[in-house]
Amino acid sequence: MPGYHPQDIEKKWQAHWKENSTFKADNHSEKPKYYVLDMFPYPSGAGLHVGHPLGYIASDIVTRYKRLQGYNVLHPMGFDSFGLPAEQYAIQTGQHPEKTTRENIARYIEQLSSLGFSYDWSREVRTSDPSYYKWTQWIFLKLFNSWYNLDTDRAEPLKTLLAKFAENGSEGIRAAGDEEERHSFTAGQWQTFTEKQKLQAVHPYRLAYQQDTYVNWCPGLGTVLSNDEVKDGLSERGGFPVERRLMPQWNLRITAYADRLLQGLDHIDWPEAVKEMQRNWIGKSIGAEVTFQVQGHDQAQIKVYTTRVDTIYGATFLVLAPEHELVAELTTPEQQAHIQEYIDATKRRSERDRMADTKTVSGAFTGSYGVNPFSGEPIQIWIADYVLAGYGTGAVMAVPSGDQRDYVFAKHFGLPIVPVTDAQNIEEQADPTKEGRYINSELINGLGYKEATQKLIQELEARGIGKGKTNFRIRDAIFGRQRYWGEPIPIYYKDGVAYGVAEEDLPLVLPEIDEYKPTETGEPPLGRAKDWKYKGQYEYELSTMPGWAGSSWYFLRYMDPTNNERFVGQEAEQYWQSVDLYLGGAEHATGHLLYSRFWHLFLKDLGLVTAAEPFQKLINQGMILGRSNFVYRINGTNTFVTLGKKDQHETTALHVDVNIVNNDILDTEAFKKWRPDYATAEFILEDDVRYVCGWEVEKMSKGKFNVVSPDILVNQYGADALRLYEMFLGPLEQYKPWNTNGMSGVAGFLKKLWRLYHPQDGDFAVTDEDASPAELKALHKAIKKVEEDIEKFSFNTTVSALMITVNELTSLDTHKRVILEPLAILISPYAPHLAEELWTKLGHAAGSISSATYPEFREEYLVEDTVNYPVAINGKVRETQQFAAGATAAEIEAAVRESGFLARFAEGKEAKKFIVVPGRMVNVVV
């Protein structure tokens, strides 16, 4: 059957690419390298819908284009295959999550392959594969056996710390972390320590350490959740209540890298919004740490961190986080019930909810008083959930005259508000400005902000009650999850002390267990493992790593995925260096991207990688929104009325599966078969002929029945049409509504392209004739436009340009090799199957278009032979005349005079002046 039939050619070329490893990248090449990476997917059971491939199509276009430009391109794909959904399914069904994950991955690979992506599948990685997570565990052990030396500003192996201990004890060591967790000892004492004592002394210095930490504990799921997995006090998955609980947890000391993570943002090409989100998350601030004494509690001291020490005389109360370690000690018997009630309520709110809620005013008075260290005034000590235990010291000095939240709190509870500058007007709200001179502030009265701040910090340090300090909002990353389906943490316990599993014993493989939920005694699921001990005698850590562990370094493993001796070979890493283009969703701005940068900086500190940053350029693709359809059921009946007549009845709008709707026309028979309760449905039709549905643009989701599977569209229109259409929808970074109806237009364009090579849908008929100037102009406009747009990642405008080019060549009845051969190359990044087919028919080796050369743009083909000039009288255009492109002003003036223009439009007046704007217009002044 003549004509373009994508189903006949696409599977053929996909099989060819697979059999011939067409897209296999080489770790050794004289070509320049280019590394394109997609954020790899979690393989859910639902498979892909049309919104998922958007970024993959864009990255594949860049990949194919860069190959045409002569680059050795690495474009891999793998799967982030550990995760909570597979575990929850395992709990419900008893099926091992490995089996579910394996089946889901097979489905993803089938769908991705059907879209013609040029992945090097020989480099596929799966984070749940022991051969992969062996190296995730290995990196964890490196963190466990390292500390951060503030003197060298980098991580170092623990052996350098131990050498310092042996020489000078703990004196003079400047290390990242909480100084209060560490012990002071001399070199002599160090020598007398037992092995256990030495390990206990070292533990607070490690970059991977265990500590009692407040976490989001979800009893219903039996696990700790990240802030991203909690919404409105409930687990995002399952909707179970979540509470804040103090638990021993493994942490990674990302805070050691806070400043370097900030500085590195200035040297990468990322969207400014993403960089700003990371800056805010890291939250650098410069201020002071101040110690407040507590009345009646000689040993109790409250440390606060403030960026406005200049306002300390206006501190009229203290607020502690409900989790603060001193709350129990400072709560008086009269306040006990109220305080406990408040603490219990706080446990049911996530930190994210507490930070976001700026309207609710709540708190509880402990009954105790602190002392303002400068004024000597007694000030009440409260607890409130807007203070977080993990930020700063978990306590704030409240200055209601200078902070709006403190102001609202003080007004609500009737606490004092003291102005501290002569410029403050605090009748209705706080004044946080730094203007005016200080008042009510004994030591600094009359001073300005800078002088006051400097004097107070000097006084704090002189009195030994505080110091200047730089603080960060970011907190150390909780690294344990009480789940089964994750990387086992390679730690065992001897005499109650944590030891790292020997590297030669990696991977520590997940053991088989009978159920995938916590034990009856509340231990994580790994507590169910039988006889699971290190060397047959030592208990393993029962937590597993969080989902982000394996994704924090996967881009490195792609460089050298089969290396059994190293997480990435040195030569491979030095060749590929870092990712040149990274595409993925903006939702990963402060999670995955921040953790990946942290791990990379750590590996660089140890000399294990060479690049400064993992991802040089980042693009966040927007979301494709679903186009929902609705049917209208007459209330109390099983009769459905068409859109045009619904206002004549009392109806309820119901979502309907968009896959049984075409151009908003419902397939009523398919609707009856869709769900049992609709089997007896009756319809009031438009013109007694068709049922017209309503529609609305919404997020694509199964619950709205607006999910469109790419499989259906590939079967109907072809993968090339789907690729082109997704790019044609609009700018890559923007949100775009999906409308399947538009697919037919793109499919028609591909058929028109086919006919340039197969006139009238007949046999292949490309001639060797010379091209006309018009044909060369159309081609070279396209060469220039496609190149410019891909370099700018403006894919929608490229598709438009290609459509215009094909229309122009169709009008010129072009069937010439000299035009159609480069055209096939231009279209190949977007419609690779069709391009391969045409390339082979043009006489080239099968599958070789990927190694072709991008056509050279030649400016001379765009130069016009003639130019149309508007000709005006006193600025008013009267007619258009055509002149040679190279005509001089004198020649143009002479031609206008000879044309009779003045006789026609000058009304007998003489021309005073001829103004010729080259290439633009002629104006005759009369």
477 membership: H or E segment, kind and range: strand 477-478
Q: Are 252 and 479 in contact (CB under 8 A)?
A: yes
Residue 686 sits at φ, ψ, to 5 deg, of -80, 120
The CA distance from 806 to 373, in Å, is 79
Q: Are 727 and 799 in contact (CB under 8 A)?
A: yes
Residue 842 sits at φ, ψ, to 5 deg, of -75, 0
Count Cα atoms within 13 angstroms, Cβ side, for 869.
26
The CA distance from 87 to 491, in Å, is 22
Alpha helices in 169-245 (DSSP H): 187-192, 195-202
What DSSP letter does each residue of 403-443 carry, written as one string? -HHHHHHHHHHT------BTT---SSS------S-B-S-GG
The CA distance from 29 to 25, in Å, is 9
**Neighbour count for residue 564 (Cβ, 10 Å):** 7
Would you call 608 helix, strand, or coil by DSSP? coil
Residue 67 sits at φ, ψ, to 5 deg, of -65, -40
**Neighbour count for residue 810 (Cβ, 10 Å):** 13
**Neighbour count for residue 880 (Cβ, 10 Å):** 11
Question: Is residue 912 marked as binding?
Answer: no
**Neighbour count for residue 870 (Cβ, 10 Å):** 14
The CA distance from 600 to 607, in Å, is 11
DSSP 8-state class, residue 617: B
Which two structure tokens, joined as six digits, stand for 443? 């030591």
Q: Are strands 317-320 and 395-398 parallel, antiparallel or unpaired?
A: antiparallel
Q: Are strands 317-320 and 378-383 parallel, antiparallel or unpaired?
A: parallel
Order the strands of the 223-225 sheet from edge to edge: 223-225, 208-218, 243-252, 477-478
Which two structure tokens, joined as six digits, stand for 241? 């209540």
Is residue 1 packed enough to be buried (19+ CB in 10 Å), middle (13-18) or exposed (0-12)?
exposed
User: Token pair 């081609």 is at which residue?
Assistant: 779
Side chain identity at residue 235, one-letter code:
S
For residue 695, list its beta bridge partners: 629
User: In Å, how far from its chain's centre is CA 748?
Assistant: 35
Would you call 696 helix, strand, or coil by DSSP? strand
Which two structure tokens, joined as six digits, stand for 861? 């083909």
The CA distance from 33 to 30, in Å, is 9
Query: Peptide bond preceding 507: is omega within 30 degrees of 0, i.e. cis?
Result: yes
The CA distance from 464 to 566, in Å, is 50
The CA distance from 201 to 169, in Å, is 11
Annotated binding residues, as ranges?
Answer: 702
Task: Return binding residues for ATP.
Answer: 702
